[in-house]
Amino acid sequence: MTVDVAGEAAAYPAERIPGLSRERRGALFARFRSVALTAAGIGGLFLVWALGGWLVAINPNTTSFAGFGPIPALRSLGEMVSSGEVWGIAAPSLWRVGLGLVWATVLGVPLGILIGRSSVARQITNVPFQFLRMISPLSWMPVAILAFSTWEGAIVFLIAAAAIWPILFSTAAGVRRIDPSWFKVARNLGANSYHQLTAVILPAISQDILTGIRLALGVGWIVLVPAEYLGVKSGLGYAINDARDTLEYDRLAAIVLIVGLIGFTLDVLLQRLISRLSWLREDH
């Protein structure tokens, strides 16, 4: 008895064979590849860190800085997390950044809408705003100390001064991209300025505002640490300065890791929020 293999194969084409479809296999492979590449990047960064720590440890001139290596730093990080100390250090910094972003948003969004809608306002503010944007926020530190009665107010001001520009310019760019016919339709339907703002402008630029806030968070988070070198007695910047003064380099490296991890987590959360709230969906 012979079996017609060719006939059996023809009767059951590849599409009918039980298992994953070609599209599903492709999607799983793409996800696996993405995870593998991400892991490779993290592993490469860790290897560079480990190599640098080893070179520092074996050099008699730098051996006192061996705490910057990954093993001492991760050990110190684990102790800080298990004791709950990390939350007490990070909470004041998160409060200051959050408050600075609130002020930057409250000021930046209305100014961005005004600049985006009015060519006169755009021409008047273009040069002054571009000039101010290029000044390092930390340059305002002496002014902040003189202008505010508390260190907290000065730090929040520095963060807001750094964060306002991404929000302002992103908002203005979003307003300028709105189709003019939308305003014409709104006016024909009897919408006044308030209705145009709430029913046309804000929904249309919501993604731009959130993107600006995401960029502002990155800038404000970078400014936070040196700003907390001022007279405050709490926060990530103060903890880094304190660890440096006490020569606890493993603790210093652990706090730097905390700064990076918190900043990365906040950025990912904002990116997820943008994807969830935006009506523009990208196919992946």
CATH, residue 148? 1.10.3720.10
CB 221 within 8 A of CB 158: no
DSSP letters along 208-246, please?
HHHHHHHHHHHHHHHHHHHHTTSS-S-SHHHHHHHHHHT
Label residue 8 by pLDDT band (50, 70, 90): very low
Q: Do 33 and 98 belong together in one domain?
A: no
- Has residue 283 been placed in a domain? no
Q: Do 148 and 238 belong together in one domain?
A: yes
As a whole number of angstroms, the distance between CA 68 and CA 9 comes to 62
Tokens of 229: 């070198």
Q: What is the DSSP letter of 179?
A: -
Label residue 50 by pLDDT band (50, 70, 90): confident
**Mean pLDDT of all residues in the chain?**
84
Q: Within 13 Å of residue 36, how many CA atoms lie on the same side as its CB? A: 6
DSSP letters along 99-159, please?
HHHHHHHHHHHHHHHHHHH-HHHHHHHHHHHHHHHTS-GGGGHHHHHHH-SSHHHHHHHHH
Scored b (16 or more CB within 10 A) or e, 145-166 reads beeeeebbebbbbbbbbbbbbb
As a whole number of angstroms, the distance between CA 116 and CA 118 comes to 6
Q: Do 20 and 127 belong together in one domain?
A: no
Q: Do 270 and 225 belong together in one domain?
A: yes
Q: Do 97 and 35 belong together in one domain?
A: no
Instruction: Report pLDDT digits (tens) over 186-220.
Output: 888 877 878 888 888 888 888 889 999 999 999 99
Q: Do 33 and 87 belong together in one domain?
A: no
Range of the domain at 54: 5-58
Judged against a pLDDT cut of 90, whether residue 163 lies above it is answered with yes
Tokens of 10: 């023809």
Q: Do 132 and 96 belong together in one domain?
A: yes
How large a percentage of the chain has pLDDT more than 90? 32
**Mapping DSSP to helix (H, G, I), strand (E, B) and coil, where does residue 281 land?**
coil
Label residue 10 by pLDDT band (50, 70, 90): very low
- Has residue 41 been placed in a domain? yes
Scored b (16 or more CB within 10 A) or e, 246-275 reads eebbbbbbbbbbbbeebbeebeeebeeebe
- Has residue 249 been placed in a domain? yes
Q: Do 51 and 153 belong together in one domain?
A: no
- The reported pLDDT for the residue numbered 247 is 85
Label residue 5 by pLDDT band (50, 70, 90): very low
- Has residue 64 been placed in a domain? no
Q: Do 103 and 32 belong together in one domain?
A: no
The total of structural domains in the chain comes to 2
Q: Do 22 and 127 belong together in one domain?
A: no
- Has residue 282 been placed in a domain? no
Out of 17, 37, 58, pick the residue that ends a domain. 58
CB 93 within 8 A of CB 235: yes
- Has residue 86 been placed in a domain? yes
Q: Do 152 and 51 belong together in one domain?
A: no
Number of helices followed by number of strands (H, E) in the chain = 12, 0
pTM, whole model, 2 decimals? 0.79
